[in-house]
Amino acid sequence: MITTVDLTKRYGSTSAVDGLSFTVESGRVTGFLGPNGAGKSTTMRMVLGLDRPTRGHALIGGRPYVELREPLRRVGALLDARAVHGGRTARNHLLYLAQSNRLPVSRVGEMLDLVGLGQVGDRRIGGFSLGMSQRLGIAGALLGDPEVLLFDEPVNGLDPEGILWIRTLMRRLAAEGRTVFVSSHLMSEMAQTADHLVVIGKGRLIADSSVDAFIGRSSRRHVRVRSPELARLVPLLPQGHVTTHGDHVRVTGTTAGSVGETAAAAGIPLHELVEVEPSLESAYMELTQADTEFAADRS
């Protein structure tokens, strides 16, 4: 379990992360969403004891990361897959990690096989594609068989096969009861992988809820209605919740059933009546609109 309390990071007068408090539970994939520059990586670095918070703190399993003994046995993290020495072989890269936490050296070969790098373990990392580097980074994160995993943008630069592989892996790790915390700016990816979402914008918490609840909160969930007698129907619908779009209207804050009964009671024929679920993407865009607008203004 990961907990942050009032986590804050300031650089001069600007706040990269501002009073962030949330909990990442075990046994599910928690997506960490936010536009670029929202403070996702900074938050992860503070959780991992790399950056010092200006205020607040972060705990993993109730303790600060820097107090963990042999931390790779408790926590695995992939921050930047390219942050490796290109002159070293994949096997030697994992070897020094294993040695530092007194992990059995046999784990090195096992993890290389697990991530599909068994054949290229003795090649220098410098010649690896981004996808191979990501796999190596994941092998490093899993080396100590940790119960808590943090991935920063793990699908960046991966081909569809690699993305599917990571998605399946994360689901499996969570199913094994581990804590999986994964940042992304790809909504479609999170929609398919995450059970829970922590959404931030400009360093502040925007939402901390299940994926379903997050989508449900969006005002874009609406009922689409087409009828030849819209003029008669609209006055009967809840005032202020109806917008006209060409030949149909959108009604928010109600259900298709309710609109249908209203129309039936008044004898109004309907040509279309459907509840439109917003995508995670649109819910996200709506909630972070303030940020993106700000960013657009500034540039």
Partner 1 sequence: MSGVMLSEWTKLRTVRSTVWTMLGVVIVMIGFGYLNAAAARGQADRHPMIDPALLTLGGAPVASLMVASLGVLAISGEYRTGMIRTTLLAVPRRMRMLAAKTAVFTVFSLTVSLLTCFATFFVGQVVLGPYGTGLGEPGVLRIVGGCALYITGSGVFGLALGALVRHTAGGIVAVTVTLFLLPQLVGVIPGGTGARLMPYVTSVAGMRVMSPETAGGLAPWTGFGVFCLWIAVALAGAAYLLRRRDA
Tokens of residue 249, six digits? 């209207």
Kindly state the smallest distance separating residue 213's Cβ from partner 1, in Å: 33
For position 215 contacting partner 1 by CB under 8 A, the verdict is: no
Of 72 and 115, the one with the shorter C-beta distance to partner 1 is: 72
Burial class (CB in 10 A: 0-12, 13-18, 19+), 109: middle
By CB under 8 A, what part of segment 90-119 binds partner 1? 92, 95-97, 99-102
Stretch that binds partner 1, among 18-26, 84-92, 195-203, 288-296 (CB under 8 A): 84-92
For position 156 contacting partner 1 by CB under 8 A, the verdict is: no
For position 83 contacting partner 1 by CB under 8 A, the verdict is: yes
Tokens of residue 205, six digits? 């918490």
Q: Compose the 52-71 pattern: x for residues touching partner 1 by CB under 8 A, - for all others.
A: x------------xx-x-xx
Q: Compose the 129-148 pattern: x for residues touching partner 1 by CB under 8 A, - for all others.
A: -----------x--------
**3-class secondary structure, 113:** helix
For position 298 contacting partner 1 by CB under 8 A, the verdict is: no
**Residues with Cβ within 8 Å of residue 165, at least 6 apart in sequence:** 116
Angle between helices 289-298 and 280-287 (to 10 degrees): 60
Q: Any idea which residue has 């020094």 for tokens?
A: 96
Categorise residue 12: left if φ over 0, alpha if ψ from -120 to 50, beta otherwise: left
Among 7, 17, 24, 48, binds partner 1 (CB under 8 A): 48
Tokens of residue 275, six digits? 């509840």
For position 120 contacting partner 1 by CB under 8 A, the verdict is: no
The size of the chain, in residues, is 299
Residues that bind partner 1 (CB under 8 A): 45, 48-52, 65-66, 68, 70-72, 75, 77, 79-80, 82-89, 92, 95-97, 99-102, 140
